[in-house]
Amino acid sequence: MKLYYAAGACSLSPHIVALEAGIPIELEKVDTKAKRTAQGEDFWQINPKGYVPALALDNGELLTEGPAIVQYLADLKPESGLAPANGTVARYRLQEVLGYINSELHKTYSPLFKPDTPDAVREERKEYLHKRYALLEQHLAKHEWLVGDRFSAADAYLFTVTNWAKHVSFDLTDFPAILAFQQRVAERPAVQAAMQAEGLLKAA
């Protein structure tokens, strides 16, 4: 399997999940602006959506959309507990949180990365993020993880998008439980390894 990724992008979430699950995965970096892979291929030809993450499966299919990819990876190693068993309420809770992160957080961050986004839109998007984080703050003030009592694919995703806050000057100081969560996740060996592999850690 090969994961098409861009350093620190949303593809860090499936990267973390693969390492947490102990799934060997080949990585291929994509220049998402130029739409070129590190091997010089035209990324449009690989993924007509033009974005990462994309997972090339061993059967030749390409799986896209972060929430689907992390569940696919987690289900390859059910014993990892990264996704509760299919058909259980807990599994729908995982999908509920993945959907929330995807549509309410991830896609609210996206315009903040674009230099031509007007300041008024920027402010409105940050206010929106603030509201959405406030709900997660309440949950994480009482619980260590987003779903159940163990680290799951949803935690990898929340960690990944929340790491963007510093890049877009979104202030997280109103959210101490989220800041503590970020710290907790960052310390996990698989997370360290994924970040190291993507060149996100400063040399010691």
Ligand X SMILES: N[C@@H](CCC(=O)N[C@@H](CS)C(=O)NCC(=O)O)C(=O)O
Q: Which residues bind ligand X (CB under 6 A)?
A: 6, 9-10, 32, 50-53, 65-66, 102
Min dist CB 63 to ligand X, Å, is: 10
Min dist CB 46 to ligand X, Å, is: 12
Task: Tell me the residue nearest to ligand X as measured from the CB.
Answer: 51
- In sign, the C-alpha dihedral spanning 52, 201, 166, 136 is positive
Min dist CB 144 to ligand X, Å, is: 25
Return the structure tokens found at 144: 């260590």
Choose between 67 and 84: whose C-beta lies nearer to ligand X.
67
Reduce the secondary structure of 172-204 to three states and give it as a string. CCCCHHHHHHHHHHHCCHHHHHHHHHCCCCCCC
Min dist CB 39 to ligand X, Å, is: 17
Return the structure tokens found at 145: 């993880």
Return the structure tokens found at 39: 């091997």
Choose between 111 and 148: whose C-beta lies nearer to ligand X.
111
CB 16, CB 10: distance < 8 Å: no
Choose between 65 and 96: whose C-beta lies nearer to ligand X.
65
Choose between 49 and 150: whose C-beta lies nearer to ligand X.
49
